[in-house]
Structure 1
């Protein structure tokens, strides 16, 4: 084979010469290697997405809690990317997890009514029914996307809202949904799936724990009697965190033998312990309810250990997973891929600046009185919009506990966030939601009452 040296005149100085023959040789070699058994595309990573329902990150030592509550998560955080300022899109499960599964905000995916806050009539409970929203059929959800990407998909969920009624089962090859399934049985289920997980290439696994959600059990191995009886409820909640953490560690040990696996730990919302006069996660959007856990961890070191102090949201998780899988984000997703930060590549500085400047949002709808509450917040201020004369504004740098409402004193900042919120409400607002009516029997009613979901 003969290769000829060719030269081209640019018109600006001496001729520029190109080794065309060498270039053609390279092309031929690459073409032959592409059919060779040694030439393989990089394998897609496995994903394990773990959601701990109702977990407040500020109750973890990994996020600054002064006592040990979750030692496994603390150890994992040391070799992970920890997002310290991650936020939910709502203060309860159905809309928040719908945002995780779609990268849309509640008014965009339309799931604002679930198994929460319905009125019981005085007549027989057998006649009672509840109307809930379904994930819209025109949105491809997280497990559906990964199934399309040739992943074998597995899921276990223990929250009543995560069943087939709302549509969370869509896209899973294997799915177990059982109300109040304890963390110990999550471990047993993963063990049962171990042979299939080993054979899957690749796999996607979603685990939705509900132990930290009320009603809390007193887990003896982790319960510490509080000095003040008023803190008894909080002590039980913390014991549940320790219990879940124990089984997270055991599940991690089972799954870590596949080095090409990425773990993601998140929570869907937080919990109030009378910071603003009540307990649980009711019709509010304060920081203790919207601040969530977000940790990314890769067994092969692909994700750089770091602490990130810019605002992120649950809507960012799905675009990030798709990007880490080597695919392009889907249209209409509202979140941003965090991959440049996770890998600390040359695009990270620009993305960090974008995150510093963005405004995030949250929403809560109460179907029994058709009321809405909205939140809009940036790195400096946090606006809560209810109705006229009830709006609140907080300086998030000086007042993290949101005790000093400065709305009347800072009209410019309040107006700026109101305008951002107005634009946001109009963005891809879903005019018509998909609904389904569910019969409520005595068993379901008692379960919803135990969760505090009945008013």
Structure 2
């Protein structure tokens, strides 16, 4: 597949002209999308063409979560029944790679479809996203969505630029808050707006697997020797409770759920205790699951390499917002899908840390 023109540059959500990126060979090369994601976008666009109302969109980001510590990704010791069920009923990307092994740059890449060298947020705390760069939230808000974000750590405070496009940005968390408290805030927001029938976009960020590893009871006792896995098991329960609420209350429009890790954790591999310095698989391979009952193929597993920056265009393809952002999203999807068949991605390149 030939790379798209520079009107859809650098993996951006929208295809406006971009002087910074125009003509850059490396950026055009970065637009190569894995075959599976191309096919999924085509499926989503076709599904949206046959439906009247846009779906609700629920994005759950799991901080510091390795894919290989989840049951659906092969860890037989894991206690992640809710994530495993989502995977069984949805689409599981087996080799999803994040754009950065740090929370803020990884999330900015997730929301913009840009690598850190393009969006400029290269570390935690020292950079903020430019107001001129569109995000998944600004696109959906402009398309008529109610938008709300609920984060669990100070590193994603509004001062760093991700609050744009959200009607509510719940970041009053101190240094961090437990995932069940973040989920309770989501539940309250949904209850308060139960009579508002506009589609919603909710982003819930869970921070529990980040060090120090100290899961709450009963996971503390059950995972006394594996506290990191206990934190993941705790977040699995939090996600499961929220999905159960969606199952009970969902009508029309339905809800598209995306669960994705922001980055992994070394756990002592390669001489690194946690994360942020290297780009080994332990740091950059993350879980990515899409769940949309009746509209996405249940139990599909995608072995090809995909990137976290591919997710925002995929969600926009499902929403297909009205107005100018909608036209841009459709144009971007046309560039992504093209007319031919793309080859599966076999390699992925990463350059980090923040000094690059």
Q: TM-score range by the shorter chain?
A: 0.7 to 0.9
Structure number having the greater strand percentage: 1
Distance (whole Å) between structure 1 residues aligned to residue 200 and residue 68 of structure 2: 31
The number of residue pairs the alignment matches comes to 295
Which residues of 2 match residues 347-362 of structure 1 at below 5 A? Answer: 350=341, 353-354=342-343, 356-357=344-345, 359-362=347-350
Quote how far apart the aligned CAs of 1:41 are.
Answer: 6.7
**Residue 253 in structure 1 maps to residue 244 in structure 2:** yes
Which residues of 2 match residues 15-414 of structure 1 at below 5 A? Answer: 42-115=52-125, 132-177=126-171, 178=173, 179-198=175-194, 199-223=196-220, 232=225, 235-256=226-247, 257-259=249-251, 260-299=254-293, 301-305=294-298, 306-326=300-320, 327-330=326-329, 350=341, 353-354=342-343, 356-357=344-345, 359-366=347-354, 370=355, 372=356
Match of 1:7 in 2: none
RMSD: 2.7
Q: After superposition, what is the alpha-carbon deviation per residue over 1:197-235, rounded to whole angstroms, capped at 9, x for unaligned? A: 432410000001101111111433224678xxxx94xx0
Distance (whole Å) between structure 2 residues aligned to residue 284 and residue 223 of structure 1: 29
Distance (whole Å) between structure 2 residues aligned to residue 333 and residue 101 of structure 1: 15
CA contact (8 A) 1:94 1:161 kept: yes
Distance (whole Å) between structure 1 residues aligned to residue 217 and residue 285 of structure 2: 28
Distance 1:222 1:136, change over 3 A: same
Distance (whole Å) between structure 1 residues aligned to residue 73 and residue 106 of structure 2: 21
Structure number having the greater helix percentage: 2
Distance (whole Å) between structure 1 residues aligned to residue 296 and residue 193 of structure 2: 22
Q: After superposition, what is the alpha-carbon deviation per residue over 1:262-318, rounded to whole angstroms, capped at 9, x for unaligned? A: 00000110001122112100311100001011000013x101120000011011011
Which protein, 1 or 2, shows the higher relative CO under an 8 Å CA cutoff with sep ≥ 6? 2
Q: Using structure 1 for the length normalisation, give the TM-score.
A: 0.60
Note the residue ranges of structure 1 that are not aligned, 5 or more in a row: 1-39, 116-131, 341-346, 373-455
Distance 1:41 1:59, change over 3 A: closer
Distance 1:320 1:90, change over 3 A: same
Q: Using structure 2 for the length normalisation, give the TM-score.
A: 0.76
CA contact (8 A) 1:152 1:200 kept: no
Match of 1:343 in 2: none
CA contact (8 A) 1:265 1:296 kept: yes
Partner-residue secondary structure (3-state), 2:349: strand
Quote how far apart the aligned CAs of 1:147 are.
Answer: 0.3
CA contact (8 A) 2:317 2:330 kept: no
Note the residue ranges of structure 2 that are not aligned, 5 or more in a row: 1-49, 321-325
Distance 1:110 1:293, change over 3 A: same
Q: After superposition, what is the alpha-carbon deviation per residue over 1:73-95, rounded to whole angstroms, capped at 9, x for unaligned? A: 11111101000010001111111
